Amino acid sequence: MSAFNDRTPARVVAERRTIDYIPDAERHGGLLSQFTLWIAANLQITAIVTGALAVVLGGDVFWSLVALLLGQVIGGAVMALHGAQGPQLGLPQMISSRVQFGVYGAVIPIALVCLMYVGFSASGSVLAGQAVAQLMHVDDALGIVVFTAIIVVFTVLGYRVIHGIGRIASVVGVIAFVYMFAQLLIGHDVSALLTNRHFTLSSFLLSMSLSASWQIAFGPYVADYSRYLPRSTSPRKTFWAIGLGSVIGAQTSMIFGVFAAALAGKQFSGHEVSFVVGLGASGGIAALLYFAIAFGKITITTLNAYGSVMSLTTVVSGFKGDNRLSTRGRLAYILVMVGAAMWLALAGRHAFLKEFSSFILFLLAFFTPWSAINLVDYYFITRDRYDVPALYDPNGRYGRWNVTGIVIYVIGVLVQLPFISSAFYTGPLVDALDGADISWIIGLAVPAVLYFVAARRAVEHIPSQLILPTDPALVAKPFSK
């Protein structure tokens, strides 16, 4: 390989790159920033509400906590394996899907990823808007609009600013949660809640699905926020920094949500923010907690908006054969995606909890097969031997459509249908399993096995080593199918 220029360029506040490869001279950051970013992304009100759903939808406190932790670990491992790809490839997450699906075929999962960004941003904006409204003493709708404007600014500034926000938000989040847990333990008999144990398989699996889906849903963009790390960064250490930050943050929030929902009963739904703050705060302390809730949502909602730019650029570039996006085009994508999320938040803010639970459980069916295929290919088939320039060329090594990857992805979605239990759709085998939803387990296992068997028989597209745009001798080599 050719030598790289490791001279650090002058720091700029606003990011200029989108889905193009990050050369070594522009790499920066460390593993601590990965940990703080993902703990900040999870120490927030939407994660609290997700944990609360385990109780709201019928589970008891003890077994809900156990199930949430188990799903957290499984889902967190999946998302962290995606994140570990970032430093090695120097690419946002979804562009690498072109290896498994083809340059055009990758549009299929990416389009669904865009729906995820809009849905999660909208649901998060509802809760953040409530907090902003309380701080400003305005209507919730205006609170949502103000919060959205802040997200647009931070998304435009990009990668460095997002990690900076993550570091600040992680400190704010830890302080806020220490205070809220202290108030919870002082003012309520939490131990009594733990003694009420009524195990049911359906509730246990539902709680597992909630936390696993929460973590797996990060998979399509987690590498977007590790791709600037130096290539020498250990994949193993990257895995642990991202995974621990995400799992610790999410489980902490969900534990609090479980206790809050168990104490609140029917008062929780529709008044999530005010109830959490009202557990032990008033006056100035309450204002600080509202600020912490709003600030906590900034990190994850900015991640969603930033990821939407990566995904939309990936879709457009696949057909245009271009890997760059102008500043004006980048801003347009941000406004479109964030604006759509704001509209949904305003339209659905009065019935958030039920719609959100249905959304995250149904969404899982479309991301577990993609996740399984991407991870099996990267870690067992290509083993990071990607031809990065070919990712932008429909006539190159990976072609327009990878029929094998697309067919297995569709199969991975279809095999889950009998086992899905959501407000959108309930499969025919759900009743036989006492209402338990095991679709995400099927959606991980079946595509992983099928792709492993099929891809090992078609290895002609795999280069002998990682090919980067900065390796002119390798890039110049033609590829013959």
Per-10-residue mean pLDDT, the chain, length 481: 39 73 91 95 87 86 94 96 94 90 91 80 81 84 91 90 92 90 80 83 87 90 94 96 96 92 71 66 73 83 86 79 72 86 81 60 81 95 89 88 94 92 81 80 94 85 83 53 46
Residue 205 · residue 299 · CB < 8 Å: no
| pLDDT of res. 133 | 85
Instruction: Name the burial class of residue 321, with classes exposed (0-12), middle (13-18) and buried (19+) by CB atoms within 10 angstroms of its CB.
Output: exposed
d(CA 402, CA 394): 11
Token digits for 448? 């992983």
Cβ contact 51:206 at 8 Å = no
> Reduced to 3 states, what is the DSSP secondary structure of residue 234?
coil
Report whether 85 contacts 93 (CB < 8 A). yes
Q: Report whether 311 contacts 113 (CB < 8 A).
A: yes
Residue 405 has a pLDDT of 94
What is the crossing angle of helices 283-320 and 159-187, to 10°?
A: 140
Tell me how far apart the alpha carbons of residues 260 and 238 are, in angstroms, rounded to a whole number. Answer: 33
pLDDT of res. 233:
95
How far is 11 from 227, CA to CA, in rounded Å?
17
What pLDDT was estimated at residue 345? 85
Burial of 317 (0-12, 13-18, 19+ CB in 10 A): buried
Alpha-carbon dihedral sign for residues 190, 300, 79, 450: positive
How far apart CA 256 and CA 272 sit, in angstroms, is 12
Superfamily of domain 24-353 in CATH is Hydantoin permease (1.10.4160.10)
Stated pTM of the model:
0.88
Ramachandran bin of 23, using left for φ above 0, alpha for ψ from -120 to 50, beta for the remaining angles:
beta
Buried b (16+ CB within 10 A) or exposed e, 162-183: bbbbbbebbebbbebbebbbeb
